[in-house]
Amino acid sequence: MGQVTLLAVPYDSGHRAVRMGAGPEHLLEHGIEARFGPDVRTEVLALGPEFPGEIRAAVSLQRQLAGRVRSAAGDGRVPVVLSGNCNASVGVCAGLTGGTDDLGVVWLDAHGDFNTPEYCV
């Protein structure tokens, strides 16, 4: 794997570090960076101190994420996104498309559609 930039988006529905939004920082606190080797760079996206509302928060985070993904890819790094909300995929795709339609996405989530009933018991 090439050099990695970890981009953490610790938000769920515009709220930082609650519900699924707690996941990205939890992974960082428990050493995920070490799994990517010594050249990993980590950036944590943030909103201002006031809650802008869910839709404004999502748009702001997607814009930030698109810019960071574009920058990492432009530097020859592999952007890996840790997010607490599925809509971060919009920012990732926006950051990776630049006049080409050659885009692939690997999507891993913890929704019930991924698990079998036996797994959940």
Tens digit of pLDDT for each residue in 30-68? 999 999 999 999 999 999 888 889 999 999 999 999 999
Instruction: Answer yes or no: is pLDDT of 120 > 90.
Output: no
Q: Could you tell me which of 76, 73, 69, 116 has the C-alpha nearest to residue 90?
A: 69
Q: Which two tokens stand for residue 75?
A: 């530097």
The mean pLDDT value of the chain amounts to 86
CA distances from 47 to 17, 93, 97, 110 (A): 12, 20, 24, 25
Q: Which two tokens stand for residue 44?
A: 């944590």
Instruction: Answer yes or no: is pLDDT of 119 > 60.
Output: no
List, for residues 77-87, the tens digit of each pLDDT value: 999 999 988 88
pLDDT value for 114: 53
DSSP letter (8 states) at residue 9: E
Write the DSSP string, 13-53: TTEETSGGGGHHHHHHHTTGGGGG-TT-EEEE----SS---
| Axis crossing angle, helix 54-74 with helix 88-96, rounded to the nearest 10 | 30
> Was domain 4-120 assigned CATH 3.40.800.10?
yes
